[in-house]
Homo-oligomer: A and B are copies of this chain.
Amino acid sequence: MTILELLDYAGVAVFAATGALAASRKQLDIIGFLFLAAVTGVGGGTFRDLVLGAAPVFWVTNPTYLLVCVGVGLLFYFTAHLFESRYRMLLWLDAIGLSAYSVMGAAKGLAATGSPTVAITTGVMTASVGGILRDLLAGEPSVLLRPEIYVTAALGGAAAFTALTFAGVPLSVASVIGALVAFGVRGGALRFAWRIPVYRHQPGRHPDDVM
């Protein structure tokens, strides 16, 4: 198993775990756990494959990914209540998934097109779509709208991987460094509440007050 394959399975497994934790927070039944685990686990990679024209998508070609989601969903169904804070755990696992997937997405985008712009975009997309779908389906506030740095971490990982690959660094080294960059940024944001300074604050009014 190559580093990239390992990152791929790790990304699916930890994103599936965050889906199962969201299901636990919403007190869904066991099939709800499996459903959210699968959607979150394979959602980002599914969209990546679709826009790159790589259909049938990866889990249709290799259903092992689905079985990983089922296994993780079952595990968390029986253990999720043991964790003191499921939401905190969800965020940290999400950070790991984000790191693995930002590199995987960039690697697939780069292999398919050779364009760094596309690679960085598919990296960010792959890393964020699973969590977005999870939050939408579970009715949680979107991780995108939380004040801590999120998309920036995925962008950092994808950009680092892409730049290193163009610089001739071997794929395995570039992958590990890219994932570490993404995890460093997102982990720092979670641990120390890092935020990018906002240019100018001015919250939006409610649409009905504007019209």
> Inside 8 A of A141's CB, which chain B residues have their CB?
139, 207
Are the CB atoms of A203 and B142 closer together than 8 Å?
A: no
One of A4-12, A148-156, A165-173 at the interface: A148-156
Identify A198's interface contact among B27, B35, B144, CB under 8 A: B27
> Inside 8 A of A210's CB, which chain B residues have their CB?
85, 87-88
Interface flag for A31 (CB, 8 Å): yes
What is the CB-to-nearest-CB distance from A101 to chain B, in angstroms, rounded to a whole number?
A: 15
Copies in the complex: 3
What is the CB-to-nearest-CB distance from A56 to chain B, in angstroms, rounded to a whole number?
A: 4
Interface of A is mostly: helix
> Inside 8 A of A35's CB, which chain B residues have their CB?
124, 128, 144, 151
Most interface-central of A25, A27, A195, A197 (chain B CB within 10 A): A27
- Smallest Cβ-Cβ distance to A51: which chain B residue: B57
> Inside 8 A of A128's CB, which chain B residues have their CB?
35
Most interface-central of A63, A136, A205 (chain B CB within 10 A): A63
| Size of interface on A: residues with Cβ below 8 Å to B | 71
Are the CB atoms of A137 and B132 closer together than 8 Å?
A: yes
Are the CB atoms of B204 and A26 closer together than 8 Å?
A: yes
- The 9 tightest CB contacts between A and B, nearest first, are A25-B204, A53-B55, A29-B196, A53-B56, A63-B117, A87-B210, A31-B152, A81-B200, A35-B151
A contact set with B: CB distance below 8 Å: 22, 24-32, 35, 38, 46, 50-53, 55-57, 59-60, 63, 66-67, 77-78, 81, 85-88, 109, 112-113, 115, 117-118, 121-122, 124, 128, 132, 136-142, 144-146, 149, 151-152, 155, 195-205, 207, 210-211
Complex A-B: 16 CB contacts under 8 Å: A29-B152, A32-B144, A35-B151, A51-B55, A51-B60, A52-B56, A53-B56, A55-B55, A56-B112, A60-B109, A63-B115, A63-B117, A77-B199, A87-B205, A88-B210, A137-B144
